[in-house]
Amino acid sequence: MKSVKLYEMKKVEIIVRGEDLDFVLDLLDRAGATGYTIIHNLSGKGSHGFHEGHLLFNEEDTLVMVISVMPENLVEAVLEGITPFLNKHSGVVFVSSVMVSRVGKFGDVPTKADGGT
Amino acid sequence: MKSVKLYEMKKVEIIVRGEDLDFVLDLLDRAGATGYTIIHNLSGKGSHGFHEGHLLFNEEDTLVMVISVMPENLVEAVLEGITPFLNKHSGVVFVSSVMVSRVGKFGDVPTKADGGT
Amino acid sequence: MKSVKLYEMKKVEIIVRGEDLDFVLDLLDRAGATGYTIIHNLSGKGSHGFHEGHLLFNEEDTLVMVISVMPENLVEAVLEGITPFLNKHSGVVFVSSVMVSRVGKFGDVPTKADGGT
């Protein structure tokens, strides 16, 4: 039985300082991502970049993770917006593949299931 | 050195309103998933479905994410239970592949490591 | 336009009781992982292992999830450290693939982008 159709989308996870949350949400909005979930009150630690050697996060920072699932064609706009930001601010971004059962919730992407010829 | 064996499992992540948590946990239990983790007090925003155009979540909603790792053969039962629910209630579900080091914690699935012929 | 280079890394997610957090952070540090993020105050439930039949977590436990993104060559050291621990303590670990835009934040791994011959 295959009653639930699955579609491949990209999950973008962005961890930044709480004070930078609005920048991330605005960026997702401008890139065309239609939804996001926020996990609050994270903590973390890490080194920052190749050369600098200073801390990515202080252990006292309050961090947030923003999770947004989107069609692959939106990911590059998000990365092009977030990468220069992360060169100056603390944070990380990672992208992975997920399957979703209803593509309509995550943006308007044409799929084979739409019956295109 | 390969002292730790890894097995591929599916990670199902379900984000719903806090008031719908019990429905999700009961569904996972009936599908045969043997464990889950809950992240509380998320927030989020998104549009709901293809046609409706109303909000997936209000920004004031308190959301929860339920993470459950299970053998692939259990995923369809979970999706068949959750998808009709998400047609009427706010929420999203996504499925991805993860490797786990001990399959026994995530349900009773036959594997080559069990020595099946 | 391909202005943002992506690299494949491994995301290791470890869920343990809050009291075991220091063990996990120390293990990541000794394995050479350069950063992590902690999600606090999770709850969960699950059965423990093949034979034991006792609870993985009690519903009253306060759990933490540690997320660490690292080069693949560090994963085995983490798993070799955490697996014996999880044979005696409650917890789970799973590993998945993620793409990151700047490998330098997650440890010192040679890549083609470094211009190695």
Tens-digit pLDDT profile for residues A17-41: 999 999 999 999 999 998 899 999 8
pLDDT beyond 90 at C25: yes
Residue C66 in any domain: the answer is yes
- Max CA-CA distance within chain B? 54
Asked if B89 reaches chain A (Cβ–Cβ under 8 Å), the answer is: no
**Which two three-digit tokens encode residue A43?**
């903590």
Q: Do A63 and C104 touch (CB under 8 A)?
A: no
Q: Do C49 and B100 touch (CB under 8 A)?
A: no
Look at residues B10, B99, A41 and name the one whose alpha carbon lies nearest to residue C64: A41
Residues 6+ apart with CB under 8 A from A52: none
- Work out the pLDDT band at B111, boundaries 50, 70, 90: very low
The C-alpha atoms of residue C47 and residue C33 are separated, in whole angstroms, by 29
Residue C117 in any domain: the answer is no
Q: C-chain residues within 8 Å CB-CB of B41? A: 41
Which chains form contacts with chain B, at 3 or more CB pairs under 8 Å?
A, C
Look at residues A63, B107, B28 and name the one whose alpha carbon lies nearest to residue C47: B107
How many structural domains are present in chain C? 1
Asked if C14 reaches chain A (Cβ–Cβ under 8 Å), the answer is: no
**Domain harbouring A38, CATH code:** 3.30.70.120
Choose the weakest-confidence range: A28-32, B76-80, B109-113, C95-99.
Answer: B109-113
Asked if B98 reaches chain A (Cβ–Cβ under 8 Å), the answer is: no
Q: State which residues of chain A have pLDDT below 70.
A: 1-3, 47-61, 102-117
The C-alpha atoms of residue A45 and residue A56 are separated, in whole angstroms, by 6
Asked if B42 reaches chain C (Cβ–Cβ under 8 Å), the answer is: no
Residue B35 in any domain: the answer is yes
Q: Mean pLDDT over residues B18-41, rounded? A: 93
The strand ranges marked E within A48-88 are: 55-57, 63-70
Chain-wide mean pLDDT for chain C?
79
Domain hosting B94: range is 7-101
Look at residues B71, B108, B109, B76 and name the one whose alpha carbon lies nearest to residue B93: B76
| Chain C nearest C-alpha distance from A109 (Å) | 20
| Chain A nearest C-alpha distance from C111 (Å) | 13
Residue B11 in any domain: the answer is yes
The C-alpha atoms of residue C16 and residue A30 are separated, in whole angstroms, by 37
* CA dihedral of residues A70, A71, A74, A75 (deg, nearest 10): 70
Residue C112 in any domain: the answer is no
Asked if C79 reaches chain B (Cβ–Cβ under 8 Å), the answer is: yes
Residue A68 in any domain: the answer is yes
Q: Do C4 and A42 touch (CB under 8 A)?
A: no
Q: A-chain residues within 8 Å CB-CB of B49? A: 102, 104-105
The C-alpha atoms of residue B22 and residue B45 are separated, in whole angstroms, by 21
Q: At what angle do helices C72-88 and C21-31 cross, to 10 degrees?
A: 150
Local structure of C29: helix, strand or coil: helix
Using one digit for the tens of pLDDT, what is the confidence trace for C35-76? 899 999 898 887 543 333 344 555 556 899 999 999 999 999
- Work out the pLDDT band at B34, boundaries 50, 70, 90: confident
* Residue C104: per-residue pLDDT: 53
CA A76 to chain centre: 11
Residue B112 in any domain: the answer is no
Asked if C15 reaches chain B (Cβ–Cβ under 8 Å), the answer is: yes
The terminus-to-terminus CA distance of chain B in angstroms comes to 26
Q: Mean pLDDT over residues B84-106, rounded? A: 82
The C-alpha atoms of residue B78 and residue B10 are separated, in whole angstroms, by 12
Q: B-chain residues within 8 Å CB-CB of A3? A: 80
Q: What is the pTM of this model?
A: 0.82
Q: Do B45 and A39 touch (CB under 8 A)?
A: no
